[in-house]
Amino acid sequence: MAAKKVLVVYAHQSAGSFNAAAKDAAVEVLGTQGCTVDVSDLYALKFKATATAEDIVGEVKNQDHFRYAEETKLAWKEGKLSEDIVEEQRKLTQADLVIFQFPMYWFSVPGIMKGWIDRVLTSGYAFTQEKRYSQGIFKDKKAMLSFTTGSNESMFSANGINGDMNVTLWPLQNGILHYCGFQVLAPQIFWAPSHVKAEARGTMLGGWRTRLQGLLLEAPLSFTPSDSFDGAEGFQLKPEVQEKHEGQEFGLTVGTHQGKRLPPNSQIRAGV
């Protein structure tokens, strides 16, 4: 694997946590392969989670009706974003792969990581109306989620009390990563490490270290291409695309399911 630049966006309060061990494994294994690995330790940085007018240096365009997306897009163009956002955008611009390492909170990312997403992925820099999804700005970059759960795997199944993990991941992987154009690698899920013995946690980390050896060579998850939708018709599937898949058992994706059965594990494993 050719040397690449990797950014790990990391959110955990404790250096003794399983998430910290997973982050350290990524830094070590990818580093031994010649990758340059940069870590944004959000808690250590005391990264501001709230998207406010403070993210703009100087006066805003409309003080009476502040619109964050519009104001930060203008500030990005004019070089007036706050220093912490500029620094994270610098890291992201240079990265070939971004790994989000975190404990799942309330079926999503921790608030401090959501703040990173809200503030760093500004309009204009990370997406535009013309450049999103498969035509997105970051289409030459890869990204993935690596996270721990508090519940075991069976609870996140199609018959489990938490519901299908594929459904849980759709807003994060499609609505954030794929929306910005990233090639989304299958997530690394560590199922309930706090509820298993040390030996089992060691096995989990061993599997992660093995995967890291060929991570950048993996095929990404599959999403429906942007040109399958008709913008003039409210970005609905084109009739010919609907017709092509009319007789299929499963819908196209977890989100665009066409009223059919959800494709199994399409947000968990590539090639499914």
Q: What whole-number distance in Å separates Cα of residue 69 and Cα of residue 92?
A: 19
DSSP 128: -
The confidence score (pLDDT) of residue 143 equals 98
The confidence score (pLDDT) of residue 271 equals 60
What percent of the chain clears pLDDT 70, i.e. is strictly above it? 98
Give residue 258's region: left, alpha or beta (phi > 0; psi -120 to 50): left
- Chain segment 209-245, per-residue pLDDT in tens: 999 999 999 999 999 999 999 988 899 999 999 999 9
Measured distance between the N- and C-terminal CA atoms of the chain, rounded to whole angstroms: 25
Give the CATH H-level superfamily of domain 5-221. Flavodoxin domain (3.40.50.360)
- Give the type of residue at 152: N
Residue boundaries of the structural domains of the chain: 5-221, 225-272
The SS3 call for residue 153 is: helix
The SS3 call for residue 208 is: helix
The confidence score (pLDDT) of residue 272 equals 52
Determine the length of the chain. 272
Q: What whole-number distance in Å separates Cα of residue 30 and Cα of residue 47?
A: 25
Residue 14, CA atoms < 13 Å, CB-side half-sphere: 5
The confidence score (pLDDT) of residue 157 equals 95
The confidence score (pLDDT) of residue 217 equals 93
Round the CA-based radius of gyration of the chain to a whole number and report it.
19
Contact between residue 39 and residue 88 where contact means Cβ atoms under 8 Å apart: no
The answer to whether residue 1 scores a pLDDT higher than 90 is no
The confidence score (pLDDT) of residue 164 equals 97
Pairing of strands 236-237, 229-230: antiparallel
- Chain segment 97-139, per-residue pLDDT in tens: 999 999 999 999 999 999 999 999 999 999 999 999 999 999 9
The confidence score (pLDDT) of residue 2 equals 60
